[in-house]
Chains A and B, each alone.
Chain A
Amino acid sequence: MSQTPRDNDFTVKIANVNGTGSASANTLLMKSFFRMGIPVAGKNYFPSNIQGLPTWYEIRASRDGYICRSGRVDVMVAMNAQTYRKDLAEVAAGGYLIYDSTWPRDRQLARDDITVLGVPLARMCNERFSRARERVLMKNIAYVGVLAALLDIDMNVVRSLLQESYGAKPQLLDSNQAAFDLGYRYAIENFSCPLPFRAQLMDATSGHIMIDGNTTAALGALFAGATVVGWYPITPSTSVIDAFRRYAERLRKDPQTGRSNVAIIQAEDELAAIGMVLGASWNGARSFTSTSGPGISLMNEFLGYAYFTEIPAVVVNVQRCGPSTGMPTRTQQADIMACAYASHGDTRHVLLFPANPEEAFYLSAVAFDLAERLQTPVIVLTDLDIGMNDWMCRDLKWDAGYQPDRGKVMSAAQLEAIEKFHRYLDVDHDGIPWRSLPGVHPKGAYFTRGSGHNMYGAYTEDAKEYQHVVDRLRLKWETAKTLVPEPVVDQSERHRTGIISVGSCDGAVREARDRLAAAGVGTNYLRVKAFPFGKAVQDFLDAHDRVYVVEQNRDAQLRALLLLETRVGQDKLVSVLHYDGLPVTAASIVDGINQDMARGKAA
């Protein structure tokens, strides 16, 4: 068995049973690498279940800073008998499997290309701890101790992390430290430590945080000044609101009254949640909701209403695996089309596509400015991978000079000065009319209606009057193209092959491009950050002979949107798709592109 040292370049996966309290142990392990200065990613593959179903946590350490899913497992901690067979099979040749040797394992299941290490975790914890719950929980900390020995994790880092977590509860700190030591000592005494691949101190994580995108999307809304939230619980978006509530109640508290400048209303369903957002936005508050696929389906009618009546609204859609209920705890980018044209009739919506939690922060704030400037819904499309996994991101900064763009809102003085206010007149010729807020001035009154209306806001069934309004909405869409965030482009004139991708594919695309380049295949890259597509997207399409469109859905929705909304031809765009519910890997992108290139050569 030959091995090459791969310090700071390995993936550890922990297979466990949901509800056994492994989250804090896994976070301890992941953060240990981060504190050692090693770029790291933590991905949680959890079931739609509270207790009993299999759950995995995967930690990739990458000295090169690749933090997408690696697609390989170097060390498997197999704590779940239900999935032992599958977990064993997943370990890469030359890798390691750690199992709880308290019970005999199935001898039928053996591999001679990996090393299997048995640790009597349950027995050790049963001997050391008396309470049943503690025995279960501490097994998890004990395997972190085993891994710390095998991977040569800095003990000072572990100690300070434990101190930070449990310092306030000395008894818990003692238990955790004891459990950690049990595993650590057992490994030192029984195995050849460290393994050929180790964690070694680096300096690549300063100025970074480890954070999930639901938390950052909530922070973006908080810093942008959102005050009214209507929401309905749905995996994987619920923690957006949990985080918003946690920070808003504290950071928006009036020291005198003890009351917070925020109203967070749990709705009876997603229809009501978006209805609340529209009511609040119509009334001049910054308001948002967060949801996932099924919620988007339910919100369709109101989204069309908001488009036609021109009411700002911000929706954070943490995409999950569809269709229908699908796999609520798995990731996908399969709501692109459903969001772009949500609702019946001629509707189209502004979409923003963060690639990671850092962008989720900034784009969720930008969404409010765009929604109010354009008086229309803006949907921020993240996904479960961005929303619920811990990503290494650069520190978040908030511009001290930021002022919300409230868009074209008539003040009381402006209303006083004009003869008559008309809601839908295009006075500035950019397709964006002026609006008035209720309660501000008697001259501001108008009737908001989803039925046919003319440019003055009055009911109409007149052909010309109706068409005038929907044509003006189309002009507003053209204006939107100039206001939405530009795509991220990495382009060299040497290359004729392009890659276009979106959102959480970004990390895997970057890694794939490096691998392709190492194999002599140079590519240019554009990542869309918004819909509608602006000129930069068209230019990129025009500049390439062949463009691979990388996305995480079966039906090539981004590709379809490009075909519909740009002048690109069918033949130029080649799909590279990944849609099994797990985050995309660089390998699958490299394979997809290589296969197409091979077909091209064969032809």
Chain B
Amino acid sequence: MSYIAKPKVAHPGLPRNELGLSLRDYEGGMSTLCAGCGHDSITAALVQAAFELSIPPHRMAKLSGIGCSSKTPAYFASASHGFNSVHGRMASVATGANAANRELTYIGVSGDGDTLSIGLGQFCHAIRRNLDMLYVIENNGVYGLTKGQFSASADVGSKAKKGEVNQQPPIDPCMLALSIGCTFVARSFSGDKEHLVPLLKAGIRHRGFAMIDVISPCVTFNDHEGSTKSYDFTRKHRQAAIYADYVPPAQEIRSGQAAGSVQSVTLHDGSRVLLRKVGADYDATDRMAAFGYLSQRQAAGEIVTGLLFIDEGKPDMHEVQATPDQPLNEVPYARLNPGQKALDAIQSRFR
């Protein structure tokens, strides 16, 4: 919730995207999060992703709930409409917004508290509807704004800053999302922009619900010895299952990208995600295999990252609802009004 205006100065030599816009055009207000916060790195990755995809900023809508994570939509794309909703309820607002105008790009930013505790229900049901949006969880395992309580993603045995040890099992958003039919499940790390940006781009282009769980250490309340969401712990225990590259519709696949064991998945708009496998047997289009692999690695104490599962074939909410192609908010009233004759016909059954 920045109230410090960020000066918009674009160096004339800055790279431009297809719209002729520079990275500056995708930036937002000055962050008011703690210095070194993982969330700010995710914001920077989102700026990069939107810039590289050449999305007109005013055709994006940013949505969030409440918490440190949910403040971040103010820090990118100041030329996009933003909706900082109530705690844990961003998914329903995004559902209604998307129902009204299916043509915008919806980017939701939430946190582990906002998604996995207070907002768990709405998160699950947005997944079940296959709502077409990117849903980023900035996951630090802790309630930052209220100063350090455990969240539902805190691991058993993880230590709070004041020494308390978490006893309750965590909710893993990736496992949960896989189990309820999510069509795009990924995990990344705020400290690895090279890894995160292609995932964000693929998630934005995915037709359906794209969930990216981004481990984002809280430098103030959860970056100490004994925390399992610290920079140090994440770097040591991170197990990249699969690296994702995003290839826009018109671009050829270069040989370098295709080297090794590569899986290519074509997205709805013709763009592709190239998945370089680390685990040789990993198949990101096999939900059961993904579930099994995640469970195994989790038992071994590893955090698996990458595009863990993708299914481009499932209908999204609008297809299920059989809504028209024209956004509902643009249908002129003349076509919505059934008129007196129709009203008379209805009333004839009530006599």
Contacts and interface: CB of A to CB of B under 8 A. Distances in A.
A287 B61 CA distance: 19
Of the listed residues B2, B100, B129, the one surrounded by the most CB atoms of chain A closer than 10 A to its CB is: B100
Contacts of A284: 100-101, 329
Interface of B: 1-3, 56-59, 61, 63, 73-74, 78-86, 89, 91-101, 103-104, 121-122, 124-125, 129, 317-318, 321-325, 328-329, 331, 333, 335-340, 342-343, 346-347, 350-351
13 contacts: A219-B346, A251-B338, A263-B328, A265-B96, A265-B99, A267-B125, A269-B121, A275-B96, A276-B92, A276-B96, A277-B96, A280-B328, A302-B89
A455 interface: no
Interface of A: 34-35, 208-211, 215, 219, 222-223, 225, 227-228, 230, 247, 251-252, 254, 257, 259-265, 267-269, 271-285, 287, 301-302, 305, 395-398, 400, 402-404, 436-442, 444-451, 458-460
A437 to B, nearest CB: 7
A276 B95 contact: yes
Given A287-B96, A445-B79, A227 B347 contact: no
B325 to A, nearest CB: 8
Contacts of A282: 83, 93, 96-97
Contacts, number: 221
A265 B99 CA distance: 9
A437 B97 CA distance: 11
A440 B98 CA distance: 15
Contacts of B346: 219, 247
A446 B80 CA distance: 7
A422 to B, nearest CB: 14
Contacts of A404: 333
A283 B343 contact: no
Contacts of B1: 449, 451, 459
A223 B343 contact: yes
Nearest to A271: B89
A16 to B, nearest CB: 23
A219 B333 CA distance: 15
B298 to A, nearest CB: 27
A305 B85 contact: yes
A439 B337 CA distance: 25
Contacts of A252: 336, 338
Contacts of A441: 58
B324 A257 contact: yes
B89 A263 contact: no
Nearest to B61: A438
Name the residue among B61, B93, B335 with the largest chain A CB count within 10 angstroms: B93
Given A261-B335, A442-B56, A283 B78 contact: no
A445 B343 contact: no
A440 B59 CA distance: 8
Nearest to A361: B343
A450 B340 CA distance: 41
A279 B61 CA distance: 11
A119 B331 CA distance: 59
Given A279-B94, A439-B58, A254 B324 contact: yes
A215 B58 CA distance: 39
Given A263-B99, A269-B121, A400 B3 contact: no
Contact of B343 (A34, A228, A396, A450): A396
Nearest to B124: A268
Contact of B328 (A222, A251, A285): A285
B92 A448 contact: no
A247 B337 CA distance: 12
B73 A272 contact: no
B144 to A, nearest CB: 16
Given A228-B100, A273-B92, A402-B337, 4 more contacts: A209-B350, A268-B121, A403-B333, A404-B333
Contacts of B339: 398, 400
B59 A439 contact: yes
A403 B79 CA distance: 31
Contact of B79 (A261, A285, A442, A451): A442
B92 A262 contact: no
Q: Which 9 A-B pairs have the closest CB atoms?
A: A279-B96, A275-B92, A276-B96, A285-B100, A438-B81, A279-B97, A280-B96, A459-B1, A272-B92
B336 A227 contact: yes
A269 B331 CA distance: 28
A357 B101 CA distance: 32
B101 A438 contact: yes
Nearest to A395: B347
